[in-house]
Amino acid sequence: MTTVTERFLKYIKMDTMSIEETTVPSTEGQMAIAKVLVEELKTMNMENITLDENGYVMASLPANTNKHIPALGFIAHMDTSPDISGQGVKAQIVEDYDGLDIILNQEKNIVLSPKDFPELLNYKGKTLITTDGTTLLGADDKAGIAEIMTSMDYLKNHPELLHGKICIAFTPNEEVGRGADHFNVEKFGADFAYTIDGGSIGELEYENFNAAGAKVTIQGRNIHPGSAKGKMINALLLAQEYIDQLPKRETPAETEGYEGFFHLTNIQGEVESAELRYIIRDFDLASFEKRKALMQKIADKLNVKHGKDAFKIEIKDQYFNMKEKIEPVKHIVDTASKAMEAVGVVPDIRPIRGGTDGARLSYMGLPTPNIFTGGHNFHGKHEFIPIYAMEKSVEVILKIIEMYSKA
């Protein structure tokens, strides 16, 4: 049987970075890995294997008992973040980590140090997989794919382990917020599911941000600066004025835990016109609505000052806190927590300061909390993953399946 490490090292060699395009999947690399996964699923004799035109891979393992057991789902995404290149990933294996600095790239002087990433010290004596300092690693979420595939392979090779129907899916475009856009919940066939897309070992998440995106368009008026007195309206300065109206300490760099924020992600423009892009995040729905209302109120107030057409704002909801949909079936979180404890992992139940496919899927009728992959420092050149954490993730998946079969 192929190990989870062997699978992971194979998958990260494939460039599957997603980009902000309307096509699904947004890059050819995602369809390429989808085809590889389909072929692997065929060799494992999985059933109902499909790859649709949008790059979604689905398959199932039929129940091998007549006992009524809920159909369980496990989901991971195939794409990697556009924040940094995932092309030509050269993984490095660090055996028996000694707790000191790890030289990722001597030529570029890129170091993975416990001074900057103290969580490294939790893995002394363990084997780590790191980058070579020039790309991301791709544990988000190719570790999740490897862990699901290894679990299914194990079940197929151990038919004596009784289980209900198991459904698996691999999705495109998650990193650009569109992983659930074309997910067919009915076709998938699970009663509930887990995304294997979390970070460090033990992470278990069933709360996430309510999320919206905002675009603030600012109209100025350009006049030759030599004769601009009383006539010029500098859109860039108006943009600065808008920014200054928002709470200074409610940004990602100033918040943690359950605290929400306004995050300015892009600013562009010139004297004549400018545009601000924000994302708005909050766990509490009422507070979330107040944040959106504040952004509109600021635009309205500045329009009174500078003219009714100076500021226009568009706010679009993106996803909502899945807690509301998961709490009625909280047993899926409790079972995952007990499964972790049973295999020697301490559950770390925390809110996701972001979103996953599971957030949207939960609102599409498929309650889907999130389980750890074992990785750290996603979306960057300092990304790493301990091999034993991937192995523990496989054990947790199998234990969840076992616990539902015995319930």
The residue assigned the tokens 């509301």 is: 324
Of the candidates 168, 175, 141, which has an alpha carbon nearest to the alpha carbon of residue 368?
A: 168
Would you put residue 150 in left (φ > 0), alpha (ψ -120 to 50) or beta? alpha
79 catalytic per annotation: yes
Tell me which of 15, 132, 153, 174 is the catalytic residue.
Answer: 174
Cα 396 to chain centroid distance, Å, stands at 20
> What are the phi and psi torsion angles at 273 (to 5°)?
-155, 155
Q: For 71, which DSSP code?
A: P
Question: How far is the C-alpha of 388 from the C-alpha of 126, rounded, in Å?
Answer: 7
**Tokens encoding 211:** 């999320």
- Residue 251 CB neighbour total at 10 angstroms: 13
Is residue 275 within 8 Å of residue 216, measured between CB atoms?
yes
Angle at 23 between CA 167 and CA 191, to 5 degrees: 20
Tell me which of 15, 40, 79, 395 is the catalytic residue.
Answer: 79
Is residue 269 within 8 Å of residue 236, measured between CB atoms?
yes
Strand 192-198 to strand 57-61: parallel, antiparallel, or no bridges (unpaired)?
unpaired
Question: How far is the C-alpha of 260 from the C-alpha of 314, rounded, in Å?
Answer: 20
Residues with Cβ within 8 Å of residue 43, at least 6 apart in sequence: none
Residues designated as active site: 79, 174
